[in-house]
Amino acid sequence: MPLDILVIQLLNGLVFSLLLFLMAAGLSLILGLMDVVNLAHGGFYLFGGYIGLTMIRWFGSFWLALLIAPLVAGALGLLLQVWFLRRLQSRHLDQVLFTFGLALIAADMLRWYWGAYVESVPPPPELDGSVLIMGRQFPVYRLSLIFFGAIVGVALMVLLDYTRIGAIVRAGVSDSELVSGLGINIDWVFVGVFVLGTALAALAGVAAGPITNLYPGLDFEILILALVVVVIGGLGTLRGALLGSILVGMTETLGKAFIPEFSLFVIFALMALVLLVRPRGLLGQKEA
């Protein structure tokens, strides 16, 4: 394998990793704090993507879409949390099942409104094109995704590690009784995290649109990938989600490149391996 191809493949892996991180970050947050495996996460992702597409068609601006889609999805997340999920508080299994039902409905509604055919999302014109990397063309949009993912990641880490809200959320992850004991309304912390999580899913949906395109079924594809990432990285840790994303992204990409026939198995094999060695995931604190 020539060096230039290897470099390009590693870049591909990095792009995919950060894409995975965008998808998994919200899932991981919700899971860590609320103990809810949000199975509708893929639904929010696809919903965000479609909303973004519609915004692009209406207003012709990718950037506006990137702003509006998370807001819309976040608002929907807010309603769901306040109206329904809160009623199921401390019934974790029921919450998971609720989101599963939601995922089924979302999948059907999205197919109904946006159709069964694949829709492609144009990247913003500023980033539409390619650069030469070691003599090979590489799409600018993919490169910029690396930066975008990194920015979102850093922003989230700053939010969690250096702000009061972050401290409350982190404390909530390890012990939600403690947080309630401090006189903080844990309900609203939950709402905030759920909204943030769904908004992140939608953000990922728009950002990934030009690469994955949008089509029915993508929601569950993404959900499973994101779940794999979270389980590998460890529940409820953003660093775990990042590590998991990079591991999964790289393994998947290199697997496809070198053993395409078996790429169906590599991620699952990786997950099985990690879980056997560390049942809590690589950086997981709590029992999954």
Partner 1 sequence: MTSLLANFRRWQFWLTLIGLIALVIYPNVASSYLISLLTEVFVFAIFAMSLDLLLGYSGLSSFGHAAFFGLGGYILGFVARNWTANMFITLPIVLIGSALGALIIGFFALRTSGLSFLMFTLAASQMFFGIAIKWTAVTGGSDGLSGIPRPTIGVGDTVYRFGTGFQFYFVALIFFLIAFWLMRQLVHSPFGRALIGIKSNEARMKALGYNTWRYKMMAFTLAGVFAGLSGYLFAYFNRHVSPETFYWTTSGQVMIMVIIGGAGSLTGPALGAVLVRLLPSYVSSYTERWHAIMGLVFILFVLFAPQGIIGLLKKVGRVSNSPNEP
Partner 2 sequence: MYFESVGNTAGGRKIELVTDDEGEKPDEALKKARKMVEQDQVDLVAGIVSSGVAAAVRGFFDETQSVLIIANAGANALTRAAKSKYIFRTSFSNWQPNWPMGAWAYENVGKKALISVPDYGAGADMLKAFEFAFKAAGGTVVEKQLTPFPNMGDPAPFITQISNAKVDFVYAFYSGAAATTFVKAYGSFGLAGKLPLVGAGFLVEQDVLPSQGDAALGVKSGLHWALTLDNAVNKKFVDDFKKRTTKEANVFAVQGYDTARLIVDSVNAVQGNTKDKAKWIEAIGGVSFDGPRGKFKMDPKTNNVVQSIYARDVKKVGDTLQNVVVKNFGEIADPGDDSKG
Strand (E) positions, 134-218? Answer: 136-139
CA dihedral 46, 202, 103, 247 (to 10 degrees): 90
Q: Which residues contact 178 (CB under 8 A, 6 or more apart)?
A: 171
Under the binding rule (CB under 8 A), the answer on residue 217 touching partner 2 is yes
Under the binding rule (CB under 8 A), the answer on residue 263 touching partner 2 is yes
Residue 73 interacts with which of partner 1, partner 2, none, CB < 5 to 8 Å by class: none
Tell me which residues in 12-51 interact with partner 2 (CB under 8 A). 12-13, 15-16, 19
Cβ proximity to partner 1, 109 vs 165, nearer residue: 109
**Out of 3, 90, 183, 287, the residue judged to bind partner 1 by CB under 8 A:** 287
The secondary structure element, H or E, covering residue 1 is none
CA 190, 192, 196, 202 torsion: positive or negative?
positive
Under the binding rule (CB under 8 A), the answer on residue 258 touching partner 1 is no
Please tell me the distance from the alpha carbon of residue 238 to that of residue 159, in angstroms, as a whole number.
Answer: 11
Smallest distance from partner 1 to CB 29, Å: 15
Site string for partner 1, 225-244 (x = CB under 8 A): --xx--x---x---------
115: left (phi over 0), alpha (psi -120 to 50) or beta: left
Please tell me the distance from the alpha carbon of residue 119 to that of residue 40, in angstroms, as a whole number.
Answer: 21
Stretch binding partner 1 (CB under 8 A), from 2-10, 18-26, 122-130, 264-272: 264-272
Please tell me the distance from the alpha carbon of residue 172 to that of residue 180, in angstroms, as a whole number.
Answer: 9
Tell me which residues in 91-110 interact with partner 1 (CB under 8 A). 91, 93-94, 97-98, 100-109
How many other β-carbons are positioned within 10 Å of the β-carbon of residue 178? 12
Please tell me the distance from the alpha carbon of residue 20 to that of residue 241, in angstroms, as a whole number.
Answer: 9
Smallest distance from partner 1 to CB 238, Å: 17
Binding site for partner 2 (CB under 8 A): 1-2, 5, 8-9, 12-13, 15-16, 19, 117-120, 122, 130, 136-139, 141-142, 211-213, 215, 217-218, 221, 225, 252-254, 256-257, 260-261, 263-264
Binding site for partner 1 (CB under 8 A): 31, 37, 84, 87-88, 91, 93-94, 97-98, 100-109, 112, 224, 227-228, 231, 235, 261, 264-265, 268-269, 271-272, 275-276, 279-281, 287-288
